[in-house]
Amino acid sequence: MKKIVLLITSLILPQALTNTAYSAEFELSGKVAIESRYFFQQAQSSEQSGQSNVSVFAEPELYWSWNDDSDTVLFKPYLRADQNDAQRSHGDIRELIWTHVGDDWELRTGINKVYWGVTEFQHLVDVINQIDSVEDIDGEDKLGQQMINLSLVRDWGIVDILVMPGFRERTFAGKHGRLRSNLVVNTNKAEYEASAGQQHVDYALRWANSIGDFDIGTSWFHGTNRDPLFKLGVKNINAPPQYTNLELTPYYELMDQVSLDVQATLGDWLWKVEALYRNTNTLNYWASQAGFEYTRVGVFNSVVDVGYLIEYGWDSRGQNFTVINQNDLFFGSRIALNDMQSTEILAGVGVDLDHNAQSFIIETSRRLGDSYKLSLDMRLFSSNNINDVLTQLRQDDHLQITLEKYF
């Protein structure tokens, strides 16, 4: 193993070998899992799979460090095989990043994941990585993004400069998959505003600092919008123009965005706000997500913590646009039993104040033994307004059981 490490490190950083303090460390960890979904209703289209689906996935993590941890490489490939959906069966390099730590700076080169923001029900300002939406519909699974990221640590905050050569397309459920729109999104026909297409180089700048009880971040992004617009197209130009011959094709515009995220941590209360202004060729808009999280520790003389969350999402594009959180209220509760198995329950309801549409989620998890984790999640969608995006998912209420084995 040492030999392989030497080879890899010498490829990445030749001067590491000349360092007399040279010693490399290697570590392998990760997880494999099996996931089963049970849908309560038949799908809206007969092409889609039945009421049950099984999926397996693996995410190993390989880690090397040398130069007394000043240089590290993290490699995290990901692979999923899905019973029914060919688009959900996919692989990705979540991370393959070389980090070099200097005195008051850090350089991260490769494929990486970056998280921005503070709110829980929507991750509005978190725009660096593309959403891997075939994984789950909560937008928390991300595809690895190629980048060079210089991070400067100053007394007045941390400044991140990101140069991102290359764009990742959003993933969408395929013909046989559930949790998709009525029309299938054909990712093979994706179009771009930028003439360089997927090769367009994106830039971002961020400043973040903690000042007393406030954690503040502000960012600027110029590049390809991670959220596509959709064009209605035909699958086969020679076939008759009927509904079954229609499909959606993603169109990725360029955008400029400025955003702000602030959290005030005041005793048991966390006050949060995210806001952005986005400028694209077709329109300019504002959006915001704001709310609080209040935690009661040790309820009823036990060690159980109960948290209450309320957030409100607003988008200036309003209800005539295909925006999910244009005037939506979210309520949630997070219960941590603080037991040996780290049992946790998160329940949340999203209510659309413009349309008669609601979504309900419950996420529970518990460790089994020392290296297994069992999760039980449920998602319910209710909507009867054709203008609401959620209407597309009204047949997709489901229960999901996941067993993960960590190593």
Partner 1 sequence: MKCYQSVFSSIIATTLAIVTVITLATAFPSYAATPEQQGLAISKEAKSRDLGWQDSTANMLMKLRNRQGQESIREIKIKNLEVADDGDKGLTIFNKPRDVKGTAFLSFSHSVGADDQWLYLPALKRVKRISSRNKSGPFMGSEFSFEDLSSFEIPKYTYKYLGDDKINGLDSFMVEQIPVDKNSGYTRRIVWLDKSEYRIQKIDFYDRKNSLLKTLNYSDYKQFLAKYWRPMTMNMVNHQNGKSTALVWSNYKFRVGLKDKDFNRNSLKRAH
Upper half-sphere CA count for residue 308 (Cβ side, 13 Å) = 5
- Does 361 interact with partner 1 (rule: CB under 8 A)? no
Q: How far is the CB of 116 from partner 1 (least distance, A)?
A: 9
* Stretch binding partner 1 (CB under 8 A), from 45-53, 227-235, 282-290, 339-347: 339-347
Query: Could you give the C-alpha distances from 342 to 31, 143, 295, 305, 364, in angstroms and in order?
Result: 18, 28, 17, 12, 10
Tally of CB atoms within 10 A around 212: 7
* Stretch binding partner 1 (CB under 8 A), from 242-250, 320-328, 369-377, 381-389: 369-377
Length of the chain: 407
And the tokens for 188?
A: 């093979």
Residues 147, 130 contacting (CB under 8 angstroms): no
Rg over alpha carbons for the chain, rounded to the nearest Å, is: 23
Smaller CB distance to partner 1: residue 150 or 194? 150
Contacts of 253 (CB under 8 A, 6+ apart): 193, 224, 225, 229, 280, 281, 282
Residues 374, 368 contacting (CB under 8 angstroms): yes
- Does 14 interact with partner 1 (rule: CB under 8 A)? no
Q: How far is the CB of 361 from partner 1 (least distance, A)?
A: 16
- Does 210 interact with partner 1 (rule: CB under 8 A)? yes
- Does 103 interact with partner 1 (rule: CB under 8 A)? yes
Smaller CB distance to partner 1: residue 103 or 188? 103
Three-state secondary structure along 251-307?
EECEEEEEEEEEEEEECCEEEEEEEEEEEECCCEEEEEEEEEEEEECCHHHCCCEEE
Out of 91, 165, 298, 318, the residue judged to bind partner 1 by CB under 8 A: 298
Binding residues with partner 1: total (CB under 8 A): 46
- Does 185 interact with partner 1 (rule: CB under 8 A)? no
Out of 41, 42, 198, 342, the residue judged to bind partner 1 by CB under 8 A: 342
* Separation of alpha carbons 369 and 388, rounded Å: 43
Out of 199, 356, 371, 384, the residue judged to bind partner 1 by CB under 8 A: 371
- Does 140 interact with partner 1 (rule: CB under 8 A)? yes
And the tokens for 113?
A: 């994941």
- Does 151 interact with partner 1 (rule: CB under 8 A)? yes
Facing residues of 37 across strands? Answer: 53, 400
Smaller CB distance to partner 1: residue 89 or 99? 99
Out of 10, 244, 284, 341, the residue judged to bind partner 1 by CB under 8 A: 341
Facing residues of 284 across strands? Answer: 279
Q: How far is the CB of 157 from partner 1 (least distance, A)?
A: 10
Q: How far is the CB of 279 from partner 1 (least distance, A)?
A: 27
End-to-end CA, the chain: 18
Out of 5, 8, 12, 31, the residue judged to bind partner 1 by CB under 8 A: 31
> Scanning the structure block, which residue is given the tokens 């996935």?
57
Interaction site with partner 1 (CB under 8 A): 27, 29, 31, 63, 65, 69, 72, 99, 101, 103-104, 106, 113-115, 118, 140, 151, 153, 158, 208, 210, 215, 263, 265, 267-270, 295, 297-298, 303, 305, 338-342, 367, 370-371, 373, 404, 406-407
